[in-house]
Amino acid sequence: MTRQPWFRFVLPASLALNAFLIGMAVTLWLRPALPPPPPRPETIIAEMAATLPAADADILRASFAARAPHLADRPRNRSETFERIRNALRAEPFDAQALTTIFAEGRQTRDRIDDSIEGALIDAAGKMSTAGRRRLADWRPPFPPPPPR
């Protein structure tokens, strides 16, 4: 039986490829999981309402619904903002002012959302019973806190 000259390289190449693939698999397996995204405001309000007496829960839901109708557009606005940022970064010549404007508009949108949520909570707390406000004060988010930086 004659040996081909390339045959003596097949075994080391195969071993190297297997070692590489095993290393990649171990790296992917040991990589820490990404943290969960922050909860949506609707989820937070629903979980708060679940801890309240029925009448106070209705007050919280009604206040939130009246003051925060534009929150449903948040994911769409966020993806549009990211696309605008990508386009501004790709533009030639680069326009720093355009990127600054996009970030400022995003900050204003986040501030409006925060103001809506805070206004809804303030409005609801003013109409709730004392027991409802106390339960709201004792409420803790069931989701894990963000990882330390």
Give me the sign of the Cα torsion angle 133, 135, 138, 140. Answer: negative
Domain contains 124: yes
> What's the structural domain count of the chain?
1
Is 91 part of any domain?
yes
pLDDT exceeds 70 at position 134: yes
Does 1 map to a domain? no
Res 149: pLDDT:
61
Give me the half-sphere count of Cα atoms (radius 13 Å) on the Cβ side of residue 59: 18
59-86 pLDDT tens trace: 999 998 888 766 665 666 777 888 999 9
pLDDT at 60: 93
In a domain, 33, yes or no: no
Q: How large is the average pLDDT for residues 81-99?
A: 92
Residue 34 lies in a domain: no
Q: Is residue 95 part of a domain?
A: yes
Give the residue-averaged pLDDT of 44-54: 90
> Domain limits at 82?
41-138
Answer yes or no: is 87 within a domain.
yes
Segment 109-122 mean pLDDT: 84
Q: At what angle do helices 96-127 and 41-50 cross, to 10 degrees?
A: 10
Residue 123 lies in a domain: yes
pLDDT at 2 over 60: no
